């Protein structure tokens, strides 16, 4: 795929504020937060989602989503494209899995889930929590869904929720 096309496609799909929050783990308040590139006590780092840019009035750092990743991760431009691409699971660039690979991995995961359900039925096990838990653990086996951040996150969140239920309910 043409690199310019990939760049523009990614630019259209990714919200600057979402990317900044995901990477820094901080929350923007009214488009503003403490600058991740210099030390400060009052926020002077701004994000403009309409324009898809960030700018810090304190240290003068600014740019688009790719520039942000380049600076924050200390990577090249193409490194930033690949990073964002796989972070969101788009599968557009050569450095991240293709859509075909994504579909295949999802099929494998779905098949595993079906097998788990069949097994559970054989054991006449109707405890949904125990059943769902095993499904998540299976899906999280390394190498299957790992490269697909969205699916991977889905199962991690599911498992975390079940961990919580199991602990609370004394299962
Ligand atoms: Zn700054």
C-alpha of residue 40 to centroid of ligand 1, in Å: 8
**Per-residue pLDDT tens for 23-37?**
999 999 999 999 999
Q: What is the pLDDT of residues 64-89, one digit of tens each?
A: 999 999 999 888 888 888 889 888 88
Helices (H) and strands (E) in the chain, counts: 7, 4
**How far, in Å, CA of 83 to CA of 85, rounded?**
5
Residue 19's contacts (CB-CB under 8 Å, 6 or more residues apart) are 65, 68, 69, 84, 87
Domain regions of the chain by residue span: 3-87, 99-169
**3-87 has which fold?**
DNA Primase; Chain A (3.90.580)
Look up the pTM and report it.
0.56
Model confidence pLDDT, tens digit, residues 34-56: 999 999 999 999 999 999 999 99
4 Cα to the center of ligand 1, angstroms? 29
User: Ligand 1 mean position to 12 CA, how many Å?
Assistant: 25
């Amino acid at each position: 795929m043409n690199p310019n096309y990939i760049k523009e496609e990614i630019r259209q799909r990714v919200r600057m504020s979402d990317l900044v929050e995901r990477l820094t783990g901080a929350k923007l308040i009214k488009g503003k937060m403490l600058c991740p590139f210099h030390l400060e006590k009052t926020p002077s780092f701004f994000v403009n989602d309409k324009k898809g840019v960030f700018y810090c009035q304190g240290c003068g750092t600014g740019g688009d989503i790719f520039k942000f990743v380049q600076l924050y991760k200390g990577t090249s431009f193409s490194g930033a494209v690949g990073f964002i691409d796989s972070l969101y699971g788009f599968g557009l660039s050569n450095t991240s899995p293709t859509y075909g690979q994504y579909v295949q991995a999802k099929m494998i995961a779905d098949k595993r889930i079906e097998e788990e359900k069949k097994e559970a039925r054989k054991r006449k096990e109707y405890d949904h929590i125990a059943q769902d838990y095993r499904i998540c653990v299976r899906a999280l086996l390394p190498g299957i869904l790992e490269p697909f951040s969205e699916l991977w996150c889905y199962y991690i969140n599911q498992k975390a929720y079940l961990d919580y239920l199991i602990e609370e309910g004394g299962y």
